[in-house]
Amino acid sequence: MNDAEALVSIGTFARRVGLTPSALRFYDDCGVLRPARVDAATGYRYYAPDQEPRAVLVRRLRETGLPLVDASVVLDGDREEARAVLTAHARRTRDTAAAAQAAIDGLLRDLSGAGNAAMARVGGAELAGAVRQVAPSAARGAVREEFPVLGCVLVELTGQEVRLVATDRYRLAVRALRPSAVTGGAHGLLADAGTMKEIASWAMRLPEVAIEVDGRGARVHGDGEERPLPAVDGTFPDYRIVLDDLPAARHRLIVDRDALRTALADHDDGPVLLRTDERDRLVLGRAAAEVPSICTGPPLRIAFDPGVLLPAVEASVGPDVLLEISSTLRPVVVRSADQGSFTTLVMPVLQEEER
């Protein structure tokens, strides 16, 4: 059987790969999936058996709702580009689903007359750990005086998780907790960072606490005790816009957390320069102290205020910290390798030649 005899019609190929003929014609027009041959006289499209894996992958990508522009990256880009596209799409999908779920819960609550109450139960140590990670990113000093809401921690009950958020404009920390039980819909309130630290110290010794919001306000209770959670008036920055606007990372640095923390703590002369070389080494500062790491991406030079980067590294969990860098002018994602529910964004600073 020659190659021409092995080709199948668009209808047969469509049935084999689970797509419609109209979809195949559309993907041909878009350049995503060209037929192996087009009859010059009739315009009929014919496909080869070795095109089936790509067609199935196209179908699977489209079933996830991935736009064709991004699907093309997964189909024809390298593994890292494909991973970045799919990770970003998964995050957007989760956020969209959570927003839709919260909206539906609110409508159902209104219809059932359940009122405006919500409750979520989490581990006491979990809540304390989340506050420890997030609260250092709240503003202090002059920034807090100018923008009082930045001295707060945003506490969100989404109907699916409890989320703590804080920012001082130069860094942004987000920690999500999975509650053991939840009732009601979405709620958000601003709480003073100092108040949250006091509640964290109390909650640390309790096996479980409940965060409750209703018409009388907000409170945290557990083991027969209760602590008020006074709400602060104001509008917190829309942190989701920042997260959704993050471009794909060009550089990824997996760094020994203790070594990086020590190097940053020892640096006391202005911004600290992190750079990688062609041998994928990470060196820090003018003394070029080498920090154990795994570096991917092209050679990199990026500078940070150690007073901003160090707390983000200290708030991480586990022996390693992951830095995802898209450019020297965009927020850098600092992730805990052992805790995907905690993310910090840190702004780099301009290097001398950029000033």
Cα→Cα distances 183→92, 93, 102, 159, 222, Å: 24, 23, 12, 7, 16
According to CATH, what is the number of the domain 246-354? 3.10.150.10
Confidence of residue 297 (pLDDT cuts 50, 70, 90): confident
Q: What is the DSSP letter of 176?
A: E
Contact 47, 8 (CB under 8 A): yes
174 residue type, one letter: V
Confidence of residue 168 (pLDDT cuts 50, 70, 90): very high
pLDDT of residue 285: 76
* Yes or no: domain 3-76 corresponds to CATH 1.10.1660.10: yes
Rounded to the nearest integer, the mean pLDDT of the chain is 87
246 pLDDT above the threshold of 90:
no
Confidence of residue 154 (pLDDT cuts 50, 70, 90): very high
pLDDT of residue 270: 85
Confidence of residue 186 (pLDDT cuts 50, 70, 90): confident
pTM over 0.75: no
Q: Which residues of 181-218 are buried (b: 16+ CB within 10 A; e: fewer)?
A: ebbbbbbebbbbbebbbebbebbbebebbbbbbeeeeb
Beta-bridged to residue 190, according to DSSP, are: 154
pLDDT of residue 113: 44
Asked if the domains at 113-240 and 246-354 fall in one CATH topology, the answer is: yes
pLDDT digits (tens, 9 = 90+) for 68-112: 888 888 999 889 999 999 999 999 888 888 888 877 766 665 554
Crossing angle (nearest 10°) for helices 10-17 and 52-63: 60
27 pLDDT above the threshold of 90:
no
Annotated domain spans of the chain: 3-76, 113-240, 246-354
Look at domain 113-240 and name its CATH class.
Answer: alpha beta
Q: Which residue has the tokens 């024809």?
A: 76
pLDDT of residue 155: 95
Contacts of 81 (CB under 8 A, 6+ apart): 73, 248
188 pLDDT above the threshold of 80:
yes
pLDDT of residue 116: 67
Confidence of residue 296 (pLDDT cuts 50, 70, 90): confident
Q: What is the DSSP letter of 328?
A: T
pLDDT digits (tens, 9 = 90+) for 30-78: 788 999 999 988 989 999 999 999 999 999 998 888 888 888 889 998 8
pLDDT of residue 355: 40
pLDDT digits (tens, 9 = 90+) for 125-138: 999 999 999 999 99
In sign, the C-alpha dihedral spanning 173, 312, 324, 258 is negative
Read off the pLDDT of each residue in 166-180 and give the average, rounded to a whole number. Answer: 92
3 pLDDT above the threshold of 60:
no
